Structure 1
Amino acid sequence: MRDALGPLFVDEDFAVGEFEEMYADLGRPGVSPALLVMVTVLQFLHNLSDRDAAVAVADRISWKYALGLELEDTGFDASVLCEFRARLVAGDRADALLTLMLERLKAAGLVRAGGRQRTDSTHVLACVRRLNRIECLGEALRAALEEIARTSPGFVVALLAPGWDERYGRKVETGRLLRRKNASALKLAEQIGADGRSLMAAVDADPTAAWMNDLPQVRILRELWDQHYETTRTGALRYRDTGELPPSAGRIRSPHDPDARYSTKGRPGADTVAWTGSKAHLTESCDEDLPNLVTDVHTTPATEPDTCATTPVQDKLIGRDLKPGEHLTDSGYPSGANIGASLERGITLLAPVTVATGRGARNATFTPKDFPVDRHTGTARCPAGATSISMRPKKNGLVRVAFARADCVPCPIRARCTTCAPHLGRSLEIHPEPIHTARTRMQTEQDTPQWRKAYRARAGIEGTIPQAVRGPGLRRARYRGLAKTHLQNVLTGMALNIRRLGAHFDPNPKPDRRHPSHIHTLCAQHNIAATPA
């Protein structure tokens, strides 16, 4: 790759744009940022720690060749890598780093606008242990006490009471704290709640301790107590039931990573994946005459559906002058708003559109596709031949189509129609133009052989995610916080590009190292070809 493209980064790149304020003008010169970027990408490519990556710079000839270093170069201290990543996170420069790489690849003709690109997502586990409710509350109180004790130990001494050392002296585990006789989870939760309230009351009562409210762990403590406890009319603290908690999208799951969220995906049963962390969306080019390279990495909270990522991903691709002609995704990405936004951008969103959900999927009832709409007259016709009596826009952006009671009540096929009271006329909601027409067209096209042939290219992204998992370890966050996790995901995408560029320019590609099975060997010996697709 270095022989074909030369250095992908130069130091002058880090003096302009988003990187302009990355380094101060005064002081001792730092290590070359262009060198540190390549070292960090190679570090993620081989899934190395900071210390191992620094040793590799000093010891591995292959690294020295890729980095353009002399054989006598002794490298740098491992702490430099941590400081460099902190500079990237502080200015939210992760996306700019990928953009810089793609500009070099675009100039070399390896990526281009107007082609095909595909997107898919995977879960990322947060860099924290899994906690139940009581452990989360206890850990939040312990972390707040530790943070205050580091700067003002005398303030904490006045609050210490019998049992605090056992509960908050080391990490909180319910299995350890509930071993005592007559111990119950509810009593422990109430005791932790009372201890936390006494700490917050002491901070509020002391004017000289107001600065403690600005400590990160104290802010998290107050938010958790608001989520899990409530004060009754008598002034007592009540531990909320599970059904009274806020939605998972707003609930803190660990005081050590307030951005981590609990979510599930997949069908109920064996296919369901449950995790606490975030979600990574990878987008790559898939033109037949070019290598498949990662063009965008998007990180979202775990609870955010894939439909929320479609438009931001397209916006970032357009900002990099890599607008795709066709954007291939699975059925989780398209929505009415995304279809409309893609039309405005001139992007063909190639994705399966769900025809029926809920009751419609179970009972094979009619869908909006079965109701032809005449926009000129402002009417729709139902499968039984009746014409709607009104078509009005709603506040949520949809259009409500209503039919007369005289047509719906005696209708012989009303069991397959939308639900409502038996004595009322039926109604349905459709998207406004041109979204409704585009959605209907997509539903019709996805049943054709031509659409299935074009959609086969999306399957390649299913191999990209395992490649990012097996090597760089995409599904396990190294750091805490959504910003740092996003930086890790971007560096993982850049590492995939390095690997694929190396394979693309390799004049002597390595043979398949997999050990052939006996059947495979027999088929090869007897010249038995695979079944044509």
Structure 2
Amino acid sequence: MSMQPVPWPDPDPVVAAAIGAMYGSRKTEPPLAVTVRDRLGEWLRDEEFAGAFGVRGRPGWPPSRLALVTVLQRAENLTDRMAAEAVRTRLDWKYLLGLPLEDPGFDHSVLPEFRAKVADAELEQVLLDALLERLASDGLVKAGGKQRTDSTHVVAAVAELNQLELAGESVRAAVEALTAAHPGWVAAALHVSEWTRKYGTPVPGWHLPASKKKQDELAVTYAKDGHALLRAVYDKASPSWLAELPAVETLRKVLVQNYTLVIHAGGREVVKRREKQPEGDGIPPGRYRIASPYDADARWGAKRDESWLGYKLHVTETCDDAPPCGCAGPGHDGDCGAAAFPNLVTCVATTSAAVTDTEMTGVIDDALAAKGLAPGRHYLDSGYLSAGRLVAEAARHGIALIGPLQADTSAQARAGQGYARADFAADYDAQQVTCPQGKTSSSWSPCSQYGRDAIVAIFARSDCEPCPARELCTKGKKRTITLQPRAVAEAQAALRAAGNTKSFQADYARRAGIEGTMHQAASRGARRARYRGLKKTRLDHAFMAVALNLLRLNAYWNGNPLDRTRTSHLARLELSLAS
């Protein structure tokens, strides 16, 4: 399929007349598609998607209009078939897309093909960026304002597998892929009936053995079959392209991550399962370990008391104060009911579930700055914040991060007794630390820990061993204190001091509004991936963000603010009586 950029056609006169008759009187609120066309016009160009399509071949549907169809599909929670049918039959969609009444639309299979091409080209942010650029020209979004960010879990569209099921299902997935790609090679290289008996049905559907010994034996059998299959694939007599199949590469990684293979003298092979251990030949950390052969990007994650297999979605939106109404005058109290600007999503980022929130703070701020929308104040919870990040973002982008810092993690602070890190006074000019008993450190050593600058101060053993408060301070023979650089430590102290004030708490309460956005996104399926793989899931979330923005803009333009919560009949009666 090729792309031939074309401008959007004007709405068909017949369709426009019908829309005007139905909604021209403004007694009935026009649907989203109509409002978007009237308010925004042609705000997205085909050229934005040039990197996803070739220049030769049969021209397909214009990608800019397919993108809008996908957004409307996301806004209304429609399947591909339902969206394609809406293009054929609904007047409001035809009005938006500039189609005549008799236009037959397209087959629903065009939509997944479009998504795959855009996701593979990593152009998922094009639509959101184009919308924000258009809104910035209208003054609805701007740099230097206030924005807030939060994250939520996204469950992958695959089944959860334990280590045993993962091994067997990875072998089965590779055999299935090889059979579909080259059945003749499979028939010649494998004993088909034997492999069908083992891997003809999904492994999780089997009745797996209950005893640990038999489970280990079955796991080794899976591994041996997997190694045998890979040897056949990588054999010089086999077609080289078989090794490039994604399922084959996934099987190779699963075997490396979960098993060890040792070949002794005489050719005897010994396969063993890797165990969970911090060092040596243990299972690799969760952020690198494949959890399903059908979604190699999904990872296990945890947030507070919740754990899941899949991804994590980070959403950033504006949260500015309402603009002045412009009608102030003598005796005017400023409360004229003028509509505030809608809170609009400015950035969405989807990662594997193993990526922590604090790793994304700088990434999100970089993305906002690249769009020309870097906020002056960025409201986040403690998961995104650290004292070092506070200083770094102020220096890099001039962004003030607003939120509570995580609590002291020293053993004494966690236990709630003894001398915690905060009980020691650091003198950066004299390069020494004073303990609660008045003793000063004997050494001051700048260093790097986990890629960050730090200072390690150590107290003399001669001071610590005879100290009467030693039990409150350390279990060792001497106390070691790790300090942050001066600028970071001062920023941390200032923020913790400000965090106890009412003014800070009142300002930080602004962040709580992001929970409503998360609920709105969840109602459109954001917490369960529609597709497999990080690229397609990332694209889906980016298009969902555009859908949320258009829904909010539609409510704003029509003077009909979105309800944040449901209102009961009794509450409505109370409001009517009060008015």
Normalization by structure 2: what TM-score? 0.82
Q: Deviations over 1:137-189 (max 9, x none)?
A: 1111112112222333233234216642222112222534559x999322322
Over 3 Å counting, the alpha-carbon distance change for 1:178 and 1:416 in structure 2 is: closer
Name the amino acid aligned to 2:516: G
1:385 equivalent among 432, 438, 441: 438
Quick check: 1:276–1:302 contact (8 Å CA) kept in 2? yes
Aligned equivalents of 1:218, 1:463: Cα separation in 2: 43
Query: How many angstroms does 1:213 deviate by?
Result: 2.0
Label 1:34 to 1:134 Cα distance change in 2 as closer, same or farther (>3 A).
Answer: same
Aligned to 2:191: 160
User: Residues 263-412 of structure 1 correspond to what in structure 2 (within 5 A)?
Assistant: 263-266=301-304, 272-289=305-322, 290-344=341-395, 345-357=397-409, 359=411, 360-396=413-449, 397-412=453-468
Structure 1 position 86 matched with structure 2 position 116: yes
Query: 1:249 and 2:287 equivalent?
Result: yes
Deviation at 1:32, TM superposition (A): 2.2
- Consecutive unaligned residues of structure 1, counting only runs of 5 or more, are 267-271
Q: Give secondary structure in 1 for the equivalent of 2:486.
A: coil
Identify if the C-alpha distance between structure 1 residues 382 and 217 changes in structure 2 by more than 3 Å, giving closer, same or farther: same
Deviation at 1:30, TM superposition (A): 2.6
What is the alpha-carbon distance in structure 2 between the residues aligned to residue 489 and residue 521 of structure 1? 35
Is 1:457 matched up with 2:510? Answer: yes
CA distance in 1, matches of 2:140, 2:541: 22
Asked whether the equivalents of residues 135 and 174 of structure 1 are also in contact (C-alpha less than 8 Å), the reply is: no
Q: Which amino acid aligns with 1:58?
A: R
1:29 matches 2:88 = no
The 10-residue stretch of structure 1 (458-467 or 395-404) with the greater mean CA deviation from structure 2? 395-404
Pairing 1:65-144 to 2, within 5 Å after superposition: 65-144=95-174
- The one-letter code matched in structure 2 to 1:24 is G
SS of alignment partner, residue 481 of structure 2: strand
Instruction: Please tell me whether residue 447 in structure 1 is matched to residue 500 in structure 2.
Output: yes
Q: Secondary structure at the match of 2:224?
A: helix
Residues 301 and 510 (structure 1 numbering): CA distance in 2 closer, same or farther, change over 3 Å? Answer: closer
> Which range is displaced more, 161-170 or 294-303?
161-170
Alpha carbons of structure 1 residues 413 and 100: separation in structure 2 relative to 1, 3 Å? farther
Structure 2: runs of 5+ lacking an equivalent: 1-34, 323-340
- Is 2:150–2:380's contact at 8 Å kept on the other side of the alignment? yes
Q: Post-superposition shift, 1:327?
A: 0.8
Amino acid at match of 1:363: G
Report the equivalent of 1:147: 177
**474-483 or 151-160: bigger deviation:** 151-160
Following superposition, the deviation at residue 523 of structure 1 comes to 5.6
Q: Is the 8 A contact 1:8 1:101 kept in 2?
A: no
Counterpart AA for 1:261: R
Distance across 2 between alignment mates of 1:194 and 1:467? 48
How far 1:318 sits from its partner (Å)? 0.3
| Alignment partners' CA distance in 2, 1:178 and 1:390 | 59
Q: Percent identity?
A: 39
Going from structure 1 to structure 2, the CA distance change for 1:4 and 1:431 (only over 3 Å counts) comes to farther
1:216–1:22: structure 2 CA closer, same or farther, 3 Å change rule?
closer
Alignment check: 8 A CA contact 1:279 1:300 kept? yes
1:435 is the counterpart of 2:473: no
Q: Distance in 2 between matches of 1:348 and 1:393?
A: 27
Equivalenced residue count is 513
- After superposition, what is the alpha-carbon deviation per residue over 1:335-368, rounded to whole angstroms, capped at 9, x for unaligned? 2442232121211111111232362122244444
Contact 1:118–1:329 (CA<8 Å) still a contact in 2?
Answer: yes
**Aligned mates of 1:29, 1:483 — CA distance in 2:** 25
Residue 44 (structure 2) aligned to one of 5, 10, 34: 10
Contact 1:379 1:389 in 2 (8 A): yes
Q: 1:240 aligns with which of 274, 277, 281?
A: 274
Query: What secondary structure, in the 3-state scheme, does the structure 1 residue paired with 2:125 have?
Result: helix
Change (3 A) 1:199 1:10: closer
Structure 2 residue 218 is the aligned partner of structure 1 residue 200: no
Q: How far has the Cα of 1:516 moved from its partner? A: 2.2
Q: Which moved more, 1:206-215 or 1:46-55?
A: 206-215
User: What is the match of residue 269 of structure 1?
Assistant: none
- CA drift of 1:132 comes to 1.8
- 1:41 maps to which residue? 71
Structure 1 residue 80 displacement after superposition: 2.1
Do the aligned residues in 1 keep the contact of 2:144 with 2:374 (CA within 8 Å)? yes
What is the Cα deviation at residue 334 of structure 1?
Answer: 1.0
Task: Write out aligned runs for 1:226-237 (5 A).
Answer: 226-232=256-262, 233=264, 235-237=269-271
2:532 to 480, 486, 505: 480
Correspondences of 1:463-474 after superposition (within 5 Å): 463-470=516-523, 472-474=524-526
Give me the whole-angstrom Cα distance separating, in 2, the residues matched to 1:300 and 1:389: 45
Q: How far does residue 239 in structure 1 lie from its aligned partner after superposition?
A: 2.7
Equivalent position amino acid for 1:382 in 2 = C
Alignment partners' CA distance in 2, 1:188 and 1:242: 19
Give the distance between the partners of 2:573 and 2:558, measured in 1 at CA.
Answer: 31
CA distance in 2, matches of 1:126, 1:3: 34
Which secondary structure state, in structure 1, belongs to the residue aligned with residue 311 of structure 2? Answer: strand
The CA deviation at 1:25 is: 3.3
Q: Tell me the residue number matched to 1:63.
A: 93
Q: Structure 2 vs 1, CA of residues 413 and 65 (structure 1 numbering), >3 Å: closer, same or farther?
A: farther
Q: What is the Cα-based RMSD across aligned positions, in Å?
A: 2.7
Three-state SS of the structure 1 residue aligned to 2:439 is coil
The Cα shift of 1:130 comes to: 1.5
Cα deviation digits, residues 502-521 of structure 1 (max 9, x gap): 11111355889945265x47
Question: Contact conserved, 2:434 with 2:441, CA < 8 A, in 1?
Answer: yes
Deviations 1:185-222 (A, max 9, x none): 22322222222222222234444444322221111111
Q: 1:355 touches 1:367 (CA, 8 Å); kept in 2?
A: no
**Are the counterparts in 2 of residues 141 and 221 from structure 1 also a CA contact under 8 Å?**
yes
Comparing 283-292 with 93-102, which one deviates more in the overlay? 93-102
SS at match of 1:295: strand
Give secondary structure in 1 for the equivalent of 2:253. Answer: helix
Could you say what secondary structure the match of 1:492 adopts? helix
- Distance in 2 (CA, whole Å) between partners of 1:509 and 1:493 is 18
